[in-house]
Structure formats: structure tokens, C-alpha cells
Structure 1
Amino acid sequence: MKTALLASASALVLAACSTTPQSGTSTASSTRAAAPAPSSTMASTSTVSSAHVNLASASGSLVSGRLSLMPMGGGLHLQGEVGGLAPNSTHAIHIHEKGDCSAADASSAGGHFNPTSDPHGKVGTPTHHAGDMNNIVANADGVAQVNVHAQGPVLGGGAANDALGRAVIVHADGDDYTSQPSGNAGARVACGVITAG
């Protein structure tokens, strides 16, 4: 009798788990290829150990590059190289909400990745987007060595702050860290999707 009751209870628990409704998906998550539906909570750790971004030119620029991402220090660290920039120029770089670089001006990537609905700001300040990062600076040859950090996002797991499958955008101008909603950073000159591996 006890065995039958335990078996029935186990079956009910399993059935309840398998039919738990998913939270609604946002427009941002609907364009993310092969990414789990986001949960309504923020994840504190990544489930994917590394990712990369192949940046392709946008808005008629010649900007391109490759970045690697890894979870680090409560967020994601991005390293790599971006070329085709004006010599000695400063450029904003952000994670954007949609992994869609199909528009010629990369507007298809949507706004900054901001699952907490905070104002735009500088990394390290109390309020900023999860996709906000420090500016990058090109050398005399128009190449920027990227070594920046995004505070708050994770890689994988499908939580609201999961950046996997979203886009990284390089802008024509530097971020002033105060103008809302995007730091007055100008046109989107390169776009690439964050991909595991």
C-alpha cells in the first residue's frame, strides 16, 4: 500500500513539473536562435563557459572583427580585435537585445540589452544596462584591441539576463554614458551574434 501511494505521489510530482507553464517570451527572446525560453528571474552564473562574436560591417562601414566572451566577475568579459575604424577614434560597444544583424544598419538588433529596465550608464555605477560596456579606442591603424566587461549578463541557461544569442554592436561614436537611452553613440557600424563555443 505504501509503495502504491509513493508511486502515485511521484507520478503527480513529475506530471506537475512537466506541465509547469513557461513565462511569456519577449520580442528579444523570440529572435534568439536555439536559446532556451527566458525565465522571469536573473541567473547568477553562466551555464556556458565561452562564446564568440564575428562582427560584420553595418551602415556602409568597413568595420569587422572577432571577439571572445567568457563569464567573469559577475558578468561577461569580451576580448578581441575590431578593425576598419578611423585612426585613433573612440567607439561605443554594447550588447543589444536581439540576435538579429539582418538590417543594413543593424537596427534589427533592437535596443541595449536591459533585462532590469535600468537607465543607461557606465559599468561599475549603480545603474546601467546589462549590455553597457566601456568604450574601445582604435590605434593609428584603425584597429581596437578590445578588453571590456559587461556587468550582469550570463552565458546560457535561458534566464532574463542570458546574453547568449544576442548581438554585440560597435557604434560610430563613443558612449557619453549619460544620454538616454543609448549614450549618444551614433550609427551602428558593426554587428555580430553571441554564439557558444
Structure 2
Amino acid sequence: MRDRFDGRALAALFATAACSVALSGCGIIFQNHEKIADATLKPTPGNTARGTITLIERSDGVQVTYSITNMPPNSDHALQVHERGDCIAVNGADASPVFALPGERARASGRLEGELGNIHADANGTATGFIVATDVSLDGVRSVISRAIMLHREATESYTMSPHNVGPALACGVIRR
């Protein structure tokens, strides 16, 4: 009788171990995977600004972390996502309009989804920091994947008068996963 009990206990122990191993793999499948993308900003013709952009989707929006160098010292610049992921056509003019959902462009005085905000270059022409963009995402209809992100010559002063005129791009990169 003792041999049968030990056999059942061993079988139960083996079954428990097998279930434990099988379920531990579920943690990898069901854990929260961050959505991450990045872009390498390269200078447009006649400019020297360059840098990296990392985008991480969070619960409160997409965190856009930037590290950009070779900008004019002590200057402010608009950082914008544009419709097409085309940096080749950028030769002093925008390759495409600022990213916006259909119908949003009709609000000429309103802020568009692709207008991420302004960044400031320090005395060395370097800007590092982050912006939380609440109007974009890394998937779905508001996705910025495969779109161009551009650093513009001017800052966005106001969204009430000519909000989208921020001058030519100093640097451009395509957002990729």
C-alpha cells in the first residue's frame, strides 16, 4: 500500500511541476509589452541639426524623448510629425502636411495631432528632454509609425494665428518600430 501512495504523490508532484512550468510561459505572453518606436534625425540640406527621438506609448500618451545637437544656440524650435514618412523630399520645405486626423485640418486655428510642441536648444545648441503627446499613438488611427518627424526652424508661438507656419525643417527622421 505504501508503494501506491508514493507513486500517486510522485505523479501529483510531477503534474504540479508541469503545470507550473506551463503557466510560467503565460507570464511572458500576457505581460504588458510597451509599444516603442524611434527615429534618427538627420540634417536637411544646408543644416547641421541631428539627433535621436524615442517614442514610448504610456497610459497618459506617447512620451517623445529627444536628444538633438548642432542646433542654433539658445533657440526654440517646433517638433512635428508629418503625414508621409518622406525625408528625401525635404529640401527647405515640408515634405507633407502636419499629421492630422480627417476633419481636424478644417479647424484652421486649432492644434493638430502632429504638433508635438516646442523644444529649446541650450547655449551649446543641444536639446534633451521629453514631451508627452496625448493626441497620437503607436498603433491605430492616431498612429505615427512610418511618418516623418521634423525639427523646424521656428517655434510655434500660438495656435490662434497661423499656427502651422514654423519654417523649413532643420532635421528629419522617419518613425520606425
Confirm or deny a common fold (TM above 0.5): yes
Question: Number of residue pairs matched?
Answer: 142
1:75 and 1:180 map into 2 onto residues whose CA distance is 26
1:145 equivalent in alignment to 2:128? yes
Q: TM-score, normalised by structure 2?
A: 0.72
Partner SS state of residue 149, structure 1: strand
- Aligned AA for 1:96? H
- 1:58 — aligned with what? 44
Q: Runs of 5+ in structure 2 lacking a partner? A: 1-32
Partner SS state of residue 134, structure 1: strand
Show CA shifts across 1:96-115 (max 9, x none): 11101012426463011001
CA RMSD after TM alignment: 2.1
2:131 and 2:97 map into 1 onto residues whose CA distance is 19
1:106/1:160 Cα in 2 relative to 1: closer, same or farther (>3 Å)? farther
Runs of 4+ in 1 over 3 A off after TM superposition: 106-109
- 1:195 — aligned with what? 176
- 2:6 — aligned with what? none
- Aligned AA for 1:174? A
Q: Runs of 5+ in structure 1 lacking a partner? A: 1-46, 122-126
1:176 equivalent in alignment to 2:162? no
User: Which has the greater radius of gyration?
Assistant: 2
The structure richer in helix per residue is 2
Show CA shifts across 1:8-61 (max 9, x none): xxxxxxxxxxxxxxxxxxxxxxxxxxxxxxxxxxxxxxx971000100011411
1:79 and 1:57 map into 2 onto residues whose CA distance is 18
1:150 and 1:59 map into 2 onto residues whose CA distance is 28
1:58 and 1:108 map into 2 onto residues whose CA distance is 11
The structure richer in strand per residue is 2
1:175 and 1:108 map into 2 onto residues whose CA distance is 15
1:105/1:194 Cα in 2 relative to 1: closer, same or farther (>3 Å)? same
- 1:109 — aligned with what? 95
2:92 and 2:39 map into 1 onto residues whose CA distance is 15
1:103/1:141 Cα in 2 relative to 1: closer, same or farther (>3 Å)? same
Shift of 1:73: 4.2
